[in-house]
Every structure is written in C-alpha cells, then in structure tokens.
Amino acid sequence: MAILTWIPPSPVAVTASWDTQQRPSYNPNAPRKLKPTPNLKPSPPITLPTRTDPSVFDILKRPSQEVTPVKVDLDDTYLGYERWLPTPPKVEKPRSVFSAATLAYIGDCIYELYARRHFLYPPLSIEEYNDRVTSVVRCEAQDALLKELLNDSFLSNTERDVLRWGKNINSAKTRTKKRAGAAVYNRASSLETLIGYLYLTNVNRLEKLMVRLGFSTGASAEMILKEINGAKPVQ
C-alpha cells in the first residue's frame, strides 16, 4: 500500500510597487509637443477684414430695375386681384378679446409674410431667401424700424397706445431676448402687437403701415406678374 505525503511548496517572495504621482489618461488624439525648429522665421500676422452687416433699411431696398409703383384702390381688390392676406376673423374690439401676446403672436406671422413676399423677386436660392428674411425679422431689425416710425406723425394716438400696451408683454427668458436685451425685445414685440391689431381691425391701414416700414407691395407684385408670367401690368 502506497503512502502519499504532502510537502508544502517553498515560499515565494513577491515584490510590488505603485506610482504615487497622478498621471492623465492616455489620449491618442492629443496634439504632440514638437520640438522647435531652429532658424525658422515666424509668419507675418494675418489681418482679417472686419465684417459690417448692412442695416435693415439697406436690406429692404429694392433692386435697381424696380418699376414705378402703380396706384391701386385698396378698398376691394389688390392689384386687380383679391387680397393676398388670409381673411381675418371679425372682431370689433380685439383688445377686449385677445391679450397683447396673442396679437403679437399673429402679428409676427403677418410681418414675416410681408418679409418673404418682399424678397420674392428677383428669384434667389433658398439660402439667400432665408438670409434676407432672417435679417429683417430679427428683433433688432424690428426695433430699428419702429424707432424710425416713431420719429414722425404717421401713427395715430390709438396705434401708439397699442404699442405701449404691447411693450408690456411679460414673456419668458429666451435666447433671443438674452441676445438682444429686454428693451429691444419688448419694443419689437410691441410692433408685432400693432401689426396683429391692424390685421384684425383695418387691413388697409396695415398695408399702409408696412409700406411705410419699407416693405414693397405694388411694384414687387407687378414685376413678378410682368417678368415671370408675361402678364400685362395692372393699370
């Protein structure tokens, strides 16, 4: 009978070490430090031209081939056609029905519709359309147009009262309001409130207001009908 005897292994000495200095993790995309090349002349500094954005008044100017505007009776038709704006709901006293923020909401839509129609001719790319329209629908541009409008006696006392009413709209903080400032944002909202108010009460007066701000109406539409569709200009 065989007897098995267990013999313990001899002890093995194990040594360990650790790094006491914290090192950043390895980043394969990190730029490598290159040794400076001797006798290398530094490149001259590059001066970039300063960009100057055109004002909203320059943007709204029509091209040089603008035709002479025609006189149109705004009572029933517009350039011989039915009105191009959607028919507003019949509200005798909008201020008693809607809030200033509601009128500014619909006024913002009407304002942008005028802006898009203004730049419809000559035909442009979609990117150019968006750039031009964005330049005039910004609150800074609306503020500049409103300041110019307030310098004369075009607005009635009622319309100026609507502007003061729309200026006091309490709105949440947005990136646009943070960029332009509360004062500019509120004045732009007051202009949109007035546009919404006139859209519901007096479309003829709204048309005159938008023309006074610099948006084209008769000349632009007649150019499109004449040059693109080959229609005779409206007399």
What are the residue numbers of the active site? 108
Q: Is 114:209 a contact under the CB 8 Å cutoff?
A: no
Please, what is the end-to-end C-alpha distance for the chain in angstroms?
131
Report residue 57 as tokens.
């008044």
Report residue 95 as tokens.
């201020």
Report the alpha-carbon distance of residue 132 to residue 56 in Å, rounded.
9
Residue whose entry in the numeric block shows the structure tokens 């040059």: 227
Phi, psi of 120 (to 5 degrees): -65, -35
Distances (CA, A) of 148 to 137, 142, 143, 207, 211: 16, 10, 9, 17, 13
Report residue 46 as tokens.
């590059």
DSSP 168: T
List residues bridging with 81 in a β-sheet: 78
Longest dimension (CA), the chain: 131
Residues 6+ apart with CB under 8 A from 25: none
Report the alpha-carbon distance of residue 108 to residue 222 in Å, rounded.
25
